[in-house]
Amino acid sequence: MQTIFEKSVLGRSQYQLPVAIAAEIELGEGMTRSMLDLPEVSELDIVRHYTALSQRSFGVDTGFYPLGSCTMKYNPRINEAMAGLKEFAQFHPWQDDADSQGTLELIYRTQEYLTEVTGFPGLTLEPAAGAHGELTAVMMMKAYHLDRNDTQRRKMLIPDSAHGTNPATAAMCGFDTVEVPSDAQGGVDLEKLKAVLDEKTVGMMLTIPNTLGLFDRNILEISKLLHEKGALLYMDGANLNAILGAVKPAKMGVDVMHINLHKTFSTPHGGGGPGGGFVGCVSSLVPYLPAQRIVKDGDSFRLDFSAPKSIGRVRAFYSNFGVIVRAYTYMLRLGKEGTKRIGRYAVLNANYIKARLKDFYNIPFQQHCMHEVVFNDEKQTQYHITTMDIAKRLIDFGYHPPTIYFPLIVHGSLMVEPTETESKETLDEFIDAMMKIAEEAKVTPELLQRAPHSAAVKRVDSVKAARNPVVVCNTCCT
């Protein structure tokens, strides 16, 4: 498909500005640009072009999207309508507190809900995404230790099953990362943990449940071991959807965690963002939370900046406020009954898929999974079929492929996360497709190897893209 630049025709632009009431300028010679190489297209051209691009994309609204670790649940439309309310959409972030009561109250109420479901007394909604929440949390851990004159702690422990953001975040805070191997059951290897844990340990970054979709049955032992050495436990909340309403993270000995509002709390993923990255913490870490806090005085709300030990600010203004409105709207819809069911039904759905596909695909870990199930291609290797082939063939059946080749510790992993918003019928159809593909792997493996057959393009050449990067369109519009 042509780019918008290739569709440009000189003189075509129809855009009309309001009538100018003044024309004087004071921008002198050398301060202004002579050329603006932007396209000229009609409004209808634009509508058709971007409608076409949207149709060459796949969202939760298009079909089942079992992308593991991403919690692609339904994005309720009422969330969008509430974020679009005039008083929110036109709310300028520099309005003073008296003129911002609606915004402040909404953030405050969202925090109250999150305190109840996580058990954390301290919290911030300032981070703009999950990785941003991680960064905030690790900075808080750093500030906590430094404030106690505990300057020798430089080691961050990270399980080998962790998301790449964990080691990257630790590095952004100047820490050295130490990888902790998993044991045969897929949990943290306690003996290996004890071997590397010492007084130089900042803490541990643990995804709960982990990226294998498993709840580590030694969680209380892990947090106890860390605390005995003065280290902190950070919970990567990317997988919170598994335990929302079932386990309060604070009770596990977690000191600080992040939550992705765009996963657990139904805000849309937007083709890659925006997100929302709430951070919650125990009381001993409260002083280090970002400085901008919302305080309730009687019936009114105000911003408070009197936190001398705070790590500072991680994002301007009220962060992704529109995302917070969406999450709060969802929380209201859930209420106490709905909240309690989220994790339970997400886990039920994943285990149903696991149970019905266990004879067709290898499952490296037998324990009941949580919200996602990890398969791999071990049963298909004999037919020269890889996880990549299975994933691409799923596209032909109308599905978005699961997460593939992650976690790294499972060879050829295929990670399926259905979420609680999918019905049994949807899961059954997906299971049928997966069974059919397992059969095709035996009988007509070339069908898989050359898949997808129905997509806009065949498999793309990533090597060529990286070797000779073409990152902008060269068609001139002048």
Instruction: Enumerate residues 341-370 that contact other proteins by CB under 8 A.
Output: 341-342, 344-345, 347-349, 351-352, 354-356, 367-368, 370
Is 264 a binding residue for other proteins by CB under 8 A? The answer is no
Exactly one of 439, 442, 446, 473 binds other proteins (CB under 8 A); that residue is 473
Task: Give the type of residue at 469.
Answer: P
Piece in contact with other proteins (CB under 8 A), picked from 191-199, 222-230, 435-443, 467-475:
467-475
DSSP label at residue 48: H
Exactly one of 66, 76, 194, 241 binds other proteins (CB under 8 A); that residue is 76
Exactly one of 111, 241, 387, 421 binds other proteins (CB under 8 A); that residue is 421
Please identify which residue in the block is written with the tokens 């947090």: 223
Q: How far is the CB of 23 from other proteins (least distance, A)?
A: 5
DSSP label at residue 28: -
Instruction: Locate 9 and state its tokens.
Output: 């025709």
In the complex with other proteins, which residue's Cβ is closer, 167 or 203? Answer: 167
Q: Which of residues 17-56 bind other proteins (CB under 8 A)?
A: 17-18, 20-28, 30-33, 36-41, 43, 46-47, 49-56
Exactly one of 91, 196, 229, 381 binds other proteins (CB under 8 A); that residue is 91
Exactly one of 64, 111, 132, 180 binds other proteins (CB under 8 A); that residue is 132
* 8 A C-beta contact, residue 279 and residue 293: no
Closest CA to 282 of 305, 238, 245, 248: 248
* 8 A C-beta contact, residue 69 and residue 415: yes
* Complete DSSP assignment for 125-184: ---SSHHHHHHHHHHHHHHHHHHTT-TT--EEEEETTS-THHHHHHHHTTPEEEEE-B-T
Q: How far is the CB of 251 from other proteins (least distance, A)?
A: 5
In the complex with other proteins, which residue's Cβ is closer, 76 or 445? Answer: 76
Q: Which of residues 212-241 bind other proteins (CB under 8 A)?
A: 214-217, 219-220
Is 287 a binding residue for other proteins by CB under 8 A? The answer is no
Q: Which of residues 295-324 bind other proteins (CB under 8 A)?
A: 311-323
- Applying CB under 8 A, the site for other proteins has a residue count of 198
Is 271 a binding residue for other proteins by CB under 8 A? The answer is yes
Please identify which residue in the block is written with the tokens 């309403």: 245
* 8 A C-beta contact, residue 68 and residue 402: yes
Is 455 a binding residue for other proteins by CB under 8 A? The answer is yes
* 8 A C-beta contact, residue 207 and residue 239: yes
Longest dimension (CA), the chain: 76
Q: How far is the CB of 283 from other proteins (least distance, A)?
A: 19
Q: Which of residues 378-407 bind other proteins (CB under 8 A)?
A: 391-392, 395, 400-401, 403, 406
- CA 226/CA 270 separation, integer angstroms: 37
Exposed, middle or buried, 261 (CB in 10 Å: 0-12/13-18/19+)? buried
Exactly one of 194, 333, 384, 442 binds other proteins (CB under 8 A); that residue is 333
Query: Per-residue x/- mask for other proteins, residues 137 to 156, rule CB under 8 A?
Result: -xx--x--------------
Instruction: Locate 57 and state its tokens.
Output: 């994309």
In the complex with other proteins, which residue's Cβ is closer, 139 or 438? Answer: 139
Closest CA to 345 of 417, 287, 395: 417
